[in-house]
Chain A
Amino acid sequence: MGATLTGRAIRYIFFACHFERSREVFDQAKTDAASIPCAIRRSTKMKKTLFDKIWDAHVVESIPNGPDILYIDKHLIHEVTSPQAFQELKDRDIPVFRPDKIVATADHNTPTENQHLPVKDLLSRKQLKELTQNCEENNITLYGLGHPYNGIVHVMAPELGITQPGMTMVCGDSHTSTHGAFGTIAFGIGTSQVAQVFASQSVLVQKPKKLRVNVNGKLKNGVTPKDVILYIISELGTNSGTGYFCEYAGNVFEEMSMEGRMTVCNMSIEMGARGGLIAPDQTTYDYVEGREFAPKGEAFEKLKTYWESLKTDEGAVFDQEYSFDAEAIEPMVTYGTNPGMGIKISQAIPVNESKSSGKALAYMGFTAGESLIDKPINYIFIGSCTNSRIEDFRIAANYIKGKQKAKNVNALIVPGSRQVAAQIEAEGLHTIFEEAGFQLRQPGCSACLAMNDDKIPAGEYCVSTSNRNFEGRQGQGSRTILASPLTAAATAIAGKIVDYTQNLN
């Protein structure tokens, strides 16, 4: 690790002085370049976005009229999208090229009860066993079920300090965009690409276009990061980001905690963007410093100097840019079957004549023009890689404290990792949840995608803090309403959807 980190610092200086400039600028400057200090020479380079800076520093080679070979600093894997990739390498008799740059966890299909017992579902058990075998055979670090570091891949990697600014990261999971909260280029890949990274620690990928979303102003009381991203997606639509990498900028993101930034970046894929990122700042450094696999001491300071350069240059050009006013945002809920079908909790479902919209409303059992307030809800889920960090549970517990869930409600709380679960206990939040009648489970992806037993029954609504409201996502026939942990908590107490902002000071 030490060598890698020192190397990164060296890379910065190397790139800043020699490579970051275009050939044209280089030619102009080369006559007297040797005599001027590095910092001054840097000022003549092309204006770059945060995304460009990280991307360009990781390009091994650009294929003419084709993709770039992009070097990957950290590859995260899990049980569901890796087995066929390991098999691909075996079939070709190719070794895993850089096993020390891969970290594995078990999260997607794992049970959230009795994790100390053998997994009941035979197919899940087989998939987990293959992950263990594959990691053993290839010298890959695995934080499997029961390990103190086990958890949802996008929760455990940041909290262990595996995720660091300036990195390139991939995982066979579309919510890899989460790690962009640290100022990393992080994106989801398919299993063929997982195999590519196994074989070469690189991916072949076209450089995406650049998008910036600015949110400035003061958020209203009770508006959380989840509401901010659901609002952005509802305004822009589910394919607005396709072909782009999105930078989130503005004081709203600057003032957010790392947990909040992760919630925002997590859902970049729900507007089609391959990833989202936020420039690292003091909040980022404070979060990373001291974590298990974060650099320590002098190494940390050196890297921090590099991280401080990871900001979009003033005047850098984006292919697309949108700006929103923070005060326009309210607590959000979705009413349809894609994350773009969202409304402010106080609004009515819009009228849309399209065939697809009609299909979505029919599935959800809603009609255009109606409000969701007072809709009876029997299930709530607080969890998933979007909202299962300690801050999410603090917000929920703060609202729930001293109250009881409504009798009709099944309320499921699933921490994102063993470490989050331990923190919930340490802070006594578990008592609040238990006394209020909520079920606190063991960590995993759980009812976000319902690969395990945590399913919402057909026809039932679930107010869920997860990221997708697709048909059947939480179980066959289930109807998902995406919302923040605060909205989910308020729904559980009331037994129906309520506008909790009415009760806030």
Chain B
Amino acid sequence: MEKFITLTDTAVPLEIENIDTDQIIPARFLKATDKAGFGENLFKDWRFDHVGNEKEDFPLNQEKYHGQVLVAGDNFGCGSSREHAAWAIKAYGFKVVVSSYFADIFKGNSLNNGLLPVQVSPEYLSELFKAIEENPQTQIKVDLENQSIKLIDKNLEEKFDIDAYKKMCLLKGFDDIDFLVSKLDKIKAFEKQQNV
């Protein structure tokens, strides 16, 4: 898995609550049997109209917004367990998603793909949206080691929580399969003990 240590970049704002994984990647694009190509279908039906023209008012289509940080409304990633949602966001070019709340499965899927979900307070999220609206070039720094996110110009910083094990995995680029395979003897012993 790709490592994540720190990132400083501009952000794309998506001030919508309860963004579900069907919007992130609609079901009709789930027929692929590999992980390639999901980026182009990210938010497909919000980015394009039914004949394929870009919708101008959607932030991902607005030139003023760019960068590797996606800032989204509360309860991001709810709904289906499709990991394709995390693949699509990553493949599009984002490395961090910021929200005031993440759905459980999406959060886990992101962490398993080197995409960092940063959960901030509702107040800080409002500050982020405000700062990006005032100046789309505003720089945001995300530091995983220190578990902090910072609006650089405003010197406004907030700490975020992350599971210590998952943090170590991201910093070092390890993934869960490596870890679980290293525990197979223990798992076999558990099976034997339980007579599974």
Residues on A close to B: CB < 8 A?
A: 3-4, 6-8, 10-11, 14, 60-61, 63, 65-67, 69, 71, 73, 80-81, 83-84, 87-88, 92, 94, 97, 108-109, 121, 123-124, 126-127, 130, 172-174, 188-193, 195-196, 199-202, 204-206, 208, 238-239, 242-243, 269, 272, 274, 338, 354-356, 359, 449-451, 458, 468, 470-473, 476-477
Contact = CB atoms under 8 A, between A and B. Distances in A.
A43 to B, nearest CB: 24
Contact of A239 (B75, B176, B195): B75
A81 B194 contact: no
Contacts of B34: 83-84, 87
B156 interface: no
14 contacts: A3-B195, A84-B83, A121-B31, A189-B108, A192-B177, A196-B177, A200-B180, A204-B179, A208-B104, A242-B75, A242-B101, A272-B103, A355-B15, A472-B45
Contacts of A67: 163, 165
B101 A189 contact: no
A199 B105 contact: no
Given A94-B181, A190-B83, A274-B105, A11 B195 contact: yes
A451 B28 contact: yes
Most buried by B among A3, A69, A126: A69
A204 B103 contact: no
B177 A92 contact: yes
B112 A449 contact: no
A6 B196 CA distance: 9
Interface in B85-119: 86, 101-105, 108-109, 112-113
A303 to B, nearest CB: 13
Contacts of A238: 18, 75, 78
Interface of B: 15-18, 20, 22-23, 26-28, 30-35, 45, 50, 73-75, 78-84, 86, 101-105, 108-109, 112-113, 163-166, 175-177, 179-181, 183-184, 186-187, 190-191, 194-196
Contacts of A201: 187, 191
B133 to A, nearest CB: 13
Contacts of A6: 195
Given A66-B165, A71-B196, A127-B31, A471 B23 contact: yes
A60 B187 contact: yes
Contacts of A191: 83-84, 109
A189 B177 contact: no
B115 to A, nearest CB: 11
A202 B164 CA distance: 20
Nearest to B75: A239
Contacts of B194: 7-8, 10-11, 14, 71
B109 to A, nearest CB: 4
A126 B33 contact: yes
